[in-house]
A and B are shown apart, each in its own frame.
Chain A
Amino acid sequence: MTGSILFEAIVFLGGALICVPIAKRLGFSSVLGYLFAGILIGPYLLGFVGEEGEDIMHFAEFGVVMMLFLIGLEIEPKNFWKMRRTILGMGGLQVGATMLLTYLLFAAIGFEWEVSLTVSMAVALSSTAISLQTIKEKGLFETTYGASSFSILLFQDIIVIFMLGLLPLLSNTGEVTEADGHGGGGNLLESLPLWLQTLAIILSVAAVVAAGRYLIVPMLRRVATTRVRELLTASALLIVCGIAFLMELVGLSPALGAFLGGVVLATSEFKHELESTLEPFKDLLLGLFFMAVGASINFIVIGNAPLMIGSLLVAIIVLKAVVLFIVGMVFKLKLDQRLLLAIGLAQIGEFAFVLLSFAFQLHILDQEQMDTMLVITALSMALSPILGIVNERLVLPRIGTKQVEKRAVDHIAKTHKVILAGFGHFGSTVGRFLRANGIEATILDQDSNRVDLLRKMGFDVYYGDATRMDLLESAGIAEARILIIAIDDPDAVADLVAMVMKKYPHVKLMVRAKNRYDAYELLNMGAEHIYRESLDTSVKLAVDVLHQLGFRKYTLHRQAQKFIKSDEESVKRLAGLRRNKEEYIFKAREEIELQEKFLEEDLQRGFIVNDKDWESEQMRVAFGGVEEGE
Chain B
Amino acid sequence: MIEQYTITTTPKYNFPQKPIETALPQRLLELSIHSLRHIQNQQIQLTPQAVAQNGKIDAQLQVPSLNLKPTIIQIKPKTQETLVAAIDTSSIKIGETKTGILIAIRGATIWKQNKRYRYIRLGPFIFHITEENKTEVYNALQRAYLGQQSIQNHQYTPNMTQMPTRLATLLERWLQLATAKTMTNSLILLDGSLTAGTPDTPANVMREILENARKTGNAVLAFSKMTTMRLNGNLITEALPNFAPPFLLELSGLRAKPPLISFGNIYVARLSNGNCAFRLDIDRELPSQEKVEAVEKLVGNDLLVQGYPETLRLAHILCTFTANEVIAMQHFITRRYGLKIINRPDMHKLLFGPFGKGEANT
Say whether A and B bind each other: no
B residues contacting A by CB (< 8 A) are: none
